Amino acid sequence: MSLGEWPEPIIRVQSLSESGLSTIPVRYIKPSMDRPIISSDPDHISIPIIDLQGLDAEDDNLRSSTLNQISWACREWGFFQVLNHGVDPDLMDRAREVWCEFFHLPMELKQIYSNTPKTYEGYGSRLGVEKGAILDWSDYYYLHYLPSNLKDCNKWPAQPSSCREVIEEYSGQVVKLGGRLMKILSINLGLDEDRLQNAFGDIGACLRVNFYPKCPQPELTLGLSSHSDPGGLTFLLPDDQVPGLQVRKDGNWITVKPAKHAFIVNIGDQVQVLSNATYKSVEHRVRVNSGQERVSLAFFYNPKSDLLIEPAKELVTPEKPALYPPMTFDEYRLYIRTKGPQGKSQVESLASPRCCNR
Ligand code: OGA
Ligand code: NI
């Protein structure tokens, strides 16, 4: 199946927001069960925060306690924040600033980069191509960093003038962090340290910058509907001023409180598949608000798109047969690219209650 054009004319949510309307168009109103309820947030719970400095410690106890914290966070949460992760804090600030500036450029300059569902690269305002779908209250920019044959800097914004340089440097550093965490996850799963990386092959890496404009009726909509990330691992640089990301935990939506210069890391569906569900990708969504806009950078660390991804053989036993059939990431991500964010319905629909040992 190939994706061609958008089914309807694209409306920039930022333009809607800036037009000063006091009620949102029906297209953005979620069914009542999906609307965010402000009071349901248990305030005392938050996702784990892990200092990665311990990984390089001479002290074996400190190293193994850090490994254990990561292991626990992957099993219990699928979502955690990391500190001292090796990405330059100043670069993180610059990356956020440059993207904030981009979204405040005049609309005609942004429209040059308008995307289509064919590759999704560029400036976009919807995910999914179903006509009449209910839309999310956000615009975004999506670009490829790896593999190098897909990287096309001409599809990255030429303005602000430092944008391309900042993306390049930022992406390079986040990819390094990704490689480090892949080793840690392999070790924690009891595999050779290069096992997950080898399964991923020559990785794909892409950046999705989310822009959530102010919304006059935030209780009726979402900035990004509930979804799990289809890829491998996600490194999210959240807005440092405005909360909004919520993670689903035991049926509740927990609002993440970002720590300064931390990355929010989460497990994607491909790691759920490779780990044969020892690690699970977790549903998350974004709320918007009437007072402040929000910008976040989601960096996706993915398998090579045409390799078959399946549960690691070492983790498949008679007691725990392979839960998922082999599938390439190209095939896998067509689902979200067609239907838009739909909770965890895709990975769950693939999970087989029966043994699919071959
Ligand atoms: C995403 C995502 C969260 C956020 O882009 O996949 O979950 O806080 N973003 O913007
Ligand atoms: Ni996400």
Number of the ligand 1 atom closest to the C-alpha atom of 210: 10
Give the three-state DSSP class for 58.
coil
Task: Please give the pLDDT value at position 42.
Answer: 64
Task: Please give the pLDDT value at position 3.
Answer: 82
Give the three-state DSSP class for 355.
coil
247-304 tens-digit pLDDT: 999 989 999 999 999 999 999 999 999 999 999 999 999 999 999 999 999 999 999 9
State the chain's mean pLDDT as an integer: 95
Mean pLDDT value of segment 321-341:
93
CB 235 within 8 A of CB 149: no
Task: Please give the pLDDT value at position 358.
Answer: 38
Distance 326 CA to ligand 1 centre (A): 27
Q: How far apart are CA 329 and CA 303, in angstroms?
A: 7
Whether 1 shows a pLDDT value over 90: the answer reads no
Lowest mean pLDDT among 64-68, 237-241, 269-273, 334-338: 334-338
Q: Is the CB of 229 under 6 A from ligand 1?
A: yes
Whether 355 shows a pLDDT value over 50: the answer reads no
116-175 tens-digit pLDDT: 999 999 999 999 999 999 999 999 999 999 999 999 999 999 999 999 999 999 999 999
7-46 tens-digit pLDDT: 999 999 999 999 999 999 999 999 999 999 866 556 678 8
Whether 84 shows a pLDDT value over 80: the answer reads yes
Distance 232 CA to ligand 2 centre (A): 11
Give the DSSP per-residue string, 143-189: EEEESTTT--GGGS---STTHHHHHHHHHHHHHHHHHHHHHHHHHHT
Task: Please give the pLDDT value at position 14.
Answer: 98
Distance 301 CA to ligand 2 centre (A): 12
Q: Is the CB of 281 under 6 A from ligand 1?
A: no
Global pTM reads 0.96
Instruction: Enumerate the β-bridge partners of residue 295.
Output: 211
User: What band does 354 get if pLDDT is binned at 50, 70 and 90?
Assistant: low
CB 175 within 8 A of CB 145: yes
215-240 tens-digit pLDDT: 999 999 999 999 999 999 999 999 99
- In 3D space, the residue among 116, 117, 54, 113 whose CA is nearest the CA of residue 82 turns out to be 54
Give the three-state DSSP class for 283.
coil
**Domains (range + CATH), the chain:** 14-356 (2.60.120.330)
Q: How far apart are CA 220 and CA 31, in angstroms?
A: 8
Number of the ligand 1 atom closest to the C-alpha atom of 138: 10
Task: Please give the pLDDT value at position 335.
Answer: 86
Three-class SS string for 3-42? CCCCCCCCCCHHHHHHCCCCCCCHHHCCCHHHCCCHHHCC
Number of the ligand 1 atom closest to the C-alpha atom of 300: 6
Beta strands in 193-280 (DSSP E): 204-212, 224-227, 233-237, 245-249, 252-255, 263-267
- Of 256, 281, 285, 296, the residue with max ligand 1 atoms within 8 A of its CB, to mutate for a pocket test, comes to 296
Report which secondary-structure segment, H or E, holds 300: strand 294-302
